[in-house]
């Protein structure tokens, strides 16, 4: 599918009866090259954001572990006089996929070799999976925060309340052994 210039309307594209300014590519090769460059740039930028997010994970895990430990102690009937709040937060990344959608919509993907398309499709698939994991973790963190605030509410909790809150704490064990997401993202660049 290629954009066509409408008669009498230089520089306007007509696609499904919608007129809009567009860039006309003189060749299929140029369209493919521009699309591949855009995809590489977008995946690279998403990967850079991912690496920054990964740097904050150890501290976030330590904070969640500290809160879970306090909740476990409180659940067992222990007392805590902790007044220093723990930081309960999560760094997230908003992955972009505008170039992938544009390459798909304009037919540029059809002009690429299969291995390139497969590699880009895999990268965007993994980004979507990570975005889903982030959403689930963020939802758990929000529920946990509704119980404990930033940790300051733990001291006044009953053991039953601590048990309920502790059930909401995201696990720090990582993904299940059969989940390959962590293996694919690892430290490898996309």
In a domain, residue 171? The reply is yes
Among residues 162, 5, 135, 10, the alpha carbon closest in space to that of 73 is found at 162
In a domain, residue 119? The reply is yes
Model pLDDT, residue 152: 79
Cα 42 from chain centroid (whole Å): 14
- pLDDT exceeds cutoff 70 at 188: no
In a domain, residue 190? The reply is no
Question: Which has more confidence, 26 or 3?
Answer: 26
pTM: predicted TM-score of the whole model, two decimal places: 0.66
Mean pLDDT of 157-183: 63
In a domain, residue 2? The reply is no
What is d(CA 94, CA 41) in angstroms, rounded to the nearest whole number?
15
Model pLDDT, residue 71: 86
pLDDT, tens only, 57-68: 898 888 888 888
What is d(CA 25, CA 19) in angstroms, rounded to the nearest whole number?
17
Model pLDDT, residue 91: 84
Number of domains in the chain: 1
In a domain, residue 129? The reply is yes
- pLDDT exceeds cutoff 60 at 5: no
In a domain, residue 10? The reply is no
How many residues are there in the chain? 190
pLDDT, tens only, 123-151: 999 999 999 999 988 888 888 888 888 77
In a domain, residue 16? The reply is no
Confidence band of 162 (pLDDT split at 50, 70, 90): confident
In a domain, residue 154? The reply is yes
Residue range(s) defining the domain that contains residue 145: 28-185
Mean pLDDT of 162-187: 54
- pLDDT exceeds cutoff 90 at 119: yes
pLDDT, tens only, 8-22: 334 444 444 455 556
Q: What mean pLDDT, rounded, does the chain reach?
A: 77
- pLDDT exceeds cutoff 80 at 175: no
Q: What is the DSSP string of 43-54?
A: HHHHHHHHHHHH
């Amino acid at each position: 599918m290629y954009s066509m210039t409408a008669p009498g309307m230089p520089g306007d594209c007509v696609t499904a009866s919608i007129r809009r300014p567009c860039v006309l590519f003189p060749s299929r090769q140029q369209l493919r090259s521009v699309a591949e460059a855009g995809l590489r740039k977008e995946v690279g930028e998403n990967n850079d954001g991912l690496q920054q997010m990964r740097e904050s994970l150890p501290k976030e895990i330590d904070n969640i572990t500290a809160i879970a430990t306090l909740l476990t102690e409180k659940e067992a009937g222990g007392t805590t006089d902790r007044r220093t709040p723990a930081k309960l937060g999560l760094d997230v990344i908003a992955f972009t996929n505008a170039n992938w959608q544009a390459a798909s919509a304009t037919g540029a993907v059809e002009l690429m070799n299969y291995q390139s398309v497969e590699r880009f499709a895999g990268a965007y698939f993994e980004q979507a999976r990570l975005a889903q994991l982030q959403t689930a973790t963020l939802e758990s963190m929000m529920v946990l925060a509704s119980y404990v605030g930033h940790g300051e509410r733990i001291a006044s909790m009953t053991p039953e309340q601590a048990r309920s809150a502790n059930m909401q704490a995201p696990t720090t064990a990582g993904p299940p052994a059969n989940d390959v997401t962590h293996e694919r993202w690892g430290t490898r660049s996309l």
